[in-house]
Structure 1
Amino acid sequence: MNRSVVRFAVVLGLLSAIGPFAIDMYLPALPSIGADLKADTSQVQMSLMAFFLSLGFGQLVYGPVSDMVGRKAPLYFGLGLFMVGSIGCALSPSIEILIAFRFVQGLGACAGMVVPRAVVRDLHTGPEAARLMSLLMLVFSVSPILAPLSGSAVIAIAGWRAVFWVVLVAAVLGVILLALALPETRPVAERRESSIGGAIRGYGFLLRDRHFLGLVFIGAFGIASFFAFLANSSFVMIEHYGLTPTQYSFAFSVNAVSFIGVSQFAGPIGSRIGMVPMMRYAVLGYTLTMALLFALFLLGFNSLPVLMVLLFIGFGFLGLVIPSSAVLALDAHGPIAGTASALMGTLQFAAGALVMAVVGLFLDGTALPMVTGIAGSALVALILTQLTLGGRAPRGASKTAAAE
């Protein structure tokens, strides 16, 4: 594999992972945060939702700005804002202040979510972009695999506040990495055509592009199903099934390994059978697996092994859906890749926040509300896949088809 591709994947993956790192390290701490700050479950989950909301909607600004001024400057600003939010979270005396600084932290972290996708589109399209996106996700996987484990260790040694000091150090390292290892991929000549007015027109154009929106929402409800797992798994597995925070971290990491490991096959499978057929099969496999999980729990099979096995299989299918949906959505929008990536990220995180909020209304201490949210999101993704990709190649994806 080309060494420059690997270098870009490592740098972009680590920058992308800083925000999720602040989520995944945080998950084992949710019950202890509630106890320490005298907050109930819904208030503690609000601190997670505030992060998701700002992580999503902040992208609407970073994307067009990265088209106008280049990719690196917004990353520097976002990392700086993330540091401020991390310090505020570490020093928060109440759940309300923690929620506020988690919102600030998310506004900074979202730069690392939107800009790397635009950089991938700057460099490649089609299966090559899928390969780079999947490799980026492999590096990105350091967060969901290692962060819960390291978070549990940090919490056990120094308490939940230490988590935010650790992610502050990660952001500092991100600044160093950005300065030394990532060149600018948005040439000055291409920036001249970008402006605030152009960004507004770009958003208007994208919002009228049904095919783009269909692909975005396929990925959005795939991600939303994973968000339902993120927001509720620590309460379900620690408080319902009785796992320790360390055991929960291992259980969480197993599903992340499935998701990330299978995602590495998105490029090769897409090259062999086509990106569109791969997505259709993967969404179908994911939905059938989650439907089986829902049916079993609805019938009373309240089993942790069953939950873990079917989530492992299902999230493997999801690992093919997420990178390919992003590549296909951005494929025809290279000149406004930052804007398109921003709208994609915002809609996906908004869908995730909505699903988390709905699931939160039905929490009853068991796994069924979480499983229902996951299965429902998978079903919506399947319906959107049939409407968007059923029986034909995507409009504007001639390069992808040619490559296949």
Structure 2
Amino acid sequence: MKHKVLIIEDETRLLRILEMVLTDNGYQVKTANDGRQGIDIWTQWNPEVVVTDLKMRPVDGMEVLNFGRLNFSQIPLIILTAFGSVETAVIAMKTGAFDFLSKPVDHKQLLEIIDQALAVNKNEPASLEELIGSSKKMEQIKKDILLFASTDSSVLIIGESGTGKEIAARSIHKASERKNCPFVKVNCAAIPRELIESELFGHKKGSFTGALQDRKGAFMLADKGILFLDEIGDLPIELQPKLLHAVEEKTITPIGASSAIPVSIKILSATNLNLETMVNESKFRADLYYRLNTVCLNMPALRDKPTDISELALFFTKKFCLEFKKPVLKITDNALQALESYSWPGNIRELKNVIERAVLTCDKETITRDNLPEIVKRKGIHPLPQNTKNHGLDMATQEQTLLLAALEQCGWNQSNAAKELGITRSALRYRLQKYGIKK
């Protein structure tokens, strides 16, 4: 079977030469003249290697790289760059590119790099490197992910906000036989109610006002791969029967279409809501719940695995030092103790924001307790019941507790409170309005 290579290059003559070289050497090749067309082909064709120029308009090679990193992270991408752009190519390598070649392209070297990329991809074991932590809970999570990735069964991922549900979903994708096929995410809470059906199932031209052309929905884009339905608890109740039919029958009918289209997908869904309670309250269909919940992955809250806090803090420190082009900073034992003593109502996401701010503002070689927000330094400022389960304490209550504590700590100065929380002032104002919090 011929290996599939996608070439994205806006210089037509070079594009044709590269196509001819690879075809003559036994590769199945598709080409694109710009990044946008290349992304479309990548989504539909599922190449094993992508070769892309760096400087293109309107969508350049870095955008193609970022698309691949988010949706096809196992597919090696090779950057082509003109002489003088090597520094940019090195940045691309740090971002996730497999390798780069300077123009004019040495055909022998290109073939060697493609062979290396295919060999690495073929032999690469399932990687769970983004799931940081060596606690017993995290070791069990990693075992479950490898098990759940080995079948086409639907997986429901539950846990509080910020516990890493999307990372778990992407890890299942990477560990599955579908790793070279699309990973398509739909946030059911972020899409307007009137558009979500089209987002999921697509539509035909003229099927409703504003439908100026045919549009593929997430189910079709994820064909042969994985569809990740994030915030599934926010899916409108009136749309749930159609989703149930698609999940059960493995077919979808776009809006305005007269016939069903078969799809082959594995479905992952995630929520921080208690779907069992929603089923009992007739807010979520029981049959859909059981269909999505063939197996369940429960992501633990950070307070339930305190031994992972230091490991996560060191990981994020290295990450942001690289991003901000700083030497890798150390963290004092005193600062680590403060991090481990805090209850982290915002979980890993909150810890990540705290470390990002600490790295950005630290003007020495070491992050100390003084670089941490007051709200983190004050041990026990957010005591939580020890016997509280993930679904037993309303996340809204936790968020309000966090907001009030930060405001009290900062004398109700919103700018300072926003800084302590690691969010923007506008984000703080939105939350205060949302919960009706006033001084």
TM-score range, shorter chain: under 0.3
Structure whose residues are more often helix by fraction: 1
Between structure 1 and structure 2, the one with the greater Rg is: 2
State TM-score, norm by structure 2: 0.23
Structure whose residues are more often strand by fraction: 2
